[in-house]
Structure formats: C-alpha cells, structure tokens
Amino acid sequence: MTTVLLTAVVIVMMVALVLVWRSRRSVRNELDRVAGRNAVDRRAPTGGTESVFGLAEKTTEEARISATLAEADRDRFFEALRAHDDGVVVVDAQGTTVLRNAAAERYHAARHADALAEAAIGELLEQAGEGEGGHRELTLFGPPREVLSVRSVPLRSGAGVFGAVAYIRDVSETRRTESVRRDFVANVSHELKTPIGALALLAETMSVGVDPVVMHQLAERVLREADRLARIVDDLLDLSLIEAQEAPTREPTPVATIVSEAVERVKAQADAAGIPVLCGDIGSDLVVSCDHRQLVSALTNLLDNAVKYSGADQAIECTAVATRPTTTPRVAITVRDHGLGIPSRDLERIFERFYRVDRARSRATGGTGLGLAIVRHVAHAHGGEVTVESREGEGSAFTLTLPLEAPLGRGSGRPTVPSDAMQEAS
C-alpha cells in the first residue's frame, strides 16, 4: 500500500515537472522567436534561464532608449513652440494649462488691454475643449494700438477630445498695411481727379472763349494744372522705382556734394521767398555709398518742404554730423526750419503717401503729398532712417541718418561738422 502511494506521488511529481518544463520551454521559445525577429537573441550557450534574463535586460534597455528619445523629441517640440513668435497656449482635457510659450506669457494675469486678450483666449480654449474651434480678432487700443488674431483648435484622439490649443498672432502691421493701401488708392484717385477735372473744365471754357485776355489767363491755368499733374506722376514713378529696386547701383559719394546739389536746386525758390539757406562746413571725410540721384532727390524734398513752410527771413539750416549710435559709423544730415511746425497728432503719419498736415496750403504751394514718402523709402533703401522733431509754431528738424562709407577720421570720433558753423550757401 505504501509502495503504491509512493509510486503515485512520484508519477504526479514527474508529470508536474514535465508540465513545468514544457510550459517553460514554450515561453522560452516564444521569447526567443521575438528576440530573433528583432535580432537581439542573446541566449546563453546552455539555453537555460540566462536567455530569458538576457532578453528581459535587452528589452528594458530598448524601452529606456525609446523613452529617452521620446523625451528628447518632446523637449525639442516644446522649445520650438516656446521660441515661436506667435503666442501658443495648450491645455489638457480639464482645462489645465500644459504649455504657455513666451509670446503668450504677456497675457497671463495681465491688466488693462492685455487682460481682454487673456479673457478671449480662455473663452476660445473652453469652446475648443468642447470640440468646437473658434476665431476672434481683437483691437487693443494700447498705446500702442494692436490688432490680435486669436484662434483655438480642439486636440482629438479618435472620437474624443483630450485638450485644446490657442494661437495668438499680432496682425497689427498687416492691418496697418492694408489700411495704408486702401488710403493710397483713394488718395491717388482723388489727387489725379482734381487736376484732370480742372483741365477738362478749362478746356471747355476755352473752346467757347473769344476774349484774348481771358484766353491767356485760362492757358496759364492749364499749364499750372498740367504741371501739377506731371509732378504727381513723376513722384509716383520715382516712388515705384525706389520700392522695386532690390539692389540699387551705389557708389561712394561725399556728403558735401549731395548737400551742395540739393541746396542749389532750391536756391532760386528760397531767394524768391526771401529765405536764407545756411549750411555747415561739411568735412571731406564724410562719404556715403549711395544712389546719387535718389539721395539728392530725398534731401531736395526736405529742403523744399522747409522753404514752403517757412516765412521770409526765417533761415533754414542744413548740417551733416558724423555719429556712432552703433558699431557702424553713421552720418546725420539735418534740415532745420523755424516755420509753422507740425502738430504732434500728425507726426506719426507725415511719411505716409499723400498725407498732408495742411491740405489747402500744400496744394497752394504745389506739393504732391509724396515728398516725405520718397524720403523715407530712400533712407530705408540705403540702410538708414529719417526722423523728425517738431513743435507747432516753432519749426521742424528732419534728420536723414545713413551709414558712412569712409572711416570717421583721426581723433576721438567727435562730429567733424560743428553745429554752430554756418555759412550762407552761395
């Protein structure tokens, strides 16, 4: 009886060992198959448990590497969003902020106008979290005045929404450009229509006129209107040419030569109005690389405006001074008058095409409204800028700043043109 029982126990144990061995062999074969498919079969020579541990170790290492790569990809993605010029705000399914880049940070816990933007961002994100994107354009009156385009998009996974993202873009410059373009089309149509209408009316009157004196007066008026129309067209062509030039022809030119030619062009007009034009002793070391014709035209426009808006005996001063506002030496050419001046409300717009502070006076003096726009474009085309300082009733000072071609010269780099050294231009 005892022998039979012992035999039964031994059989059971043997069956159990066989089942365990077969199960272990099956698992090992499956693992080895997977490992072989991925070329990572690192089984021990004996084919024992070492192969399982080796495979587990390899799988763990691969998982660690994959996690490291995924984390690196995530970091690169986040850094790209943080560096983007557009504001980006990402929230999860509960509306908790996951990412807010630097451009969007200015609206967080903001006050005044930026608080309105943050409120709109929150509303659009909430709407996107419910599965519906949205868009809103906000005008913040500042200062400065800004126009923001805010757009939200739901983040989906299958049929569900696991978060939302909002994009905030500053479209102020785009809207300003569109406004300027609309104003330009309207203004140029008006400016051309006025002389054309006058010419048509004068021609109609002349067609039935018989009095020689009246006919002579009408003919003179026709010439004035035709001349005005020609000036507008010429200025438009000049402006179009300056804007279209990607690489204008430039050559080193002394600043003294440019100033001298510009002064000579307005001398007759200034003499007739009894307005002296004074210029400083401009050093020969002041040389700029420029389109000679464009730069003389720009400076002539500044001097012409100074003459038109100055009274008799109100001197106009033109100076050129070397400066070092940056690492690049520059020259500042200033035209200063002591005439009517410009109201502060108009200072930001006087460089726009056809913008006039005093429309009646500008037309009476023959202005086209394009002179300062030409000056600004010439300055930008030469890597410079034009600025203005003015006080109504006290006069204006326009400064054209350009990069110097030649070095400042010997010494400490102080201005080579003394501001008080004036002599009347001959």
Domain co-membership, 256 together with 389: yes
Same domain, 282 and 216: no
Number of other CB atoms surrounding residue 18 within 10 Å:
10
pLDDT in tens, 246-271: 656 788 999 999 999 999 999 988 99
> Do 232 and 284 belong to one domain?
no
pLDDT tens profile 212-238: 888 888 888 888 888 878 877 777 777
Considering the domain architecture, whether residues 103 and 210 belong to the same structural domain is answered as no
Token digits of residue 138 = 């906000």
Domain boundary pick from 77, 98, 117 = 77
Cβ-contact 108, 123 below 8 angstroms: no
Percent above pLDDT 70 for the chain: 76
Residue that finishes a domain, picked among 38, 57, 77: 77
Classify residue 2: in a domain, yes or no: no
Q: Pairing between strand 330-336 and 395-403?
A: antiparallel
How many structural domains is the chain composed of? 4
Report the alpha-carbon distance of residue 362 to residue 146 in Å, rounded: 31
CB distance 276 to 412 below 8 Å: no
Domain boundary among 77, 99, 127: 77
- How far apart CA 406 and CA 412 sit, in angstroms, is 15
The CATH number of whichever domain residue 150 belongs to comes to 3.30.450.20
Could you tell me which residue, 33 or 289, shows the higher pLDDT?
289
Residues 332 and 219 in one domain: no
In the predicted structure, residue 124 carries a pLDDT above the cut 50: yes
How far is residue 168's CA from residue 88's CA, in Å, rounded to a whole number?
A: 6
**Residue 176, pLDDT score:** 83
**154/53 same-domain check:** no
Q: By residue range, what is the domain housing residue 350?
A: 248-424
In a domain, 177, yes or no: no
Q: How confident is the model at residue 332 (pLDDT cuts 50, 70, 90)?
A: very high
The answer to whether position 184 is within a domain reads: no
Residue 154 and residue 25 in one domain: no
d(CA 330, CA 336): 19
Tell me: pLDDT of 38 over 60.
no
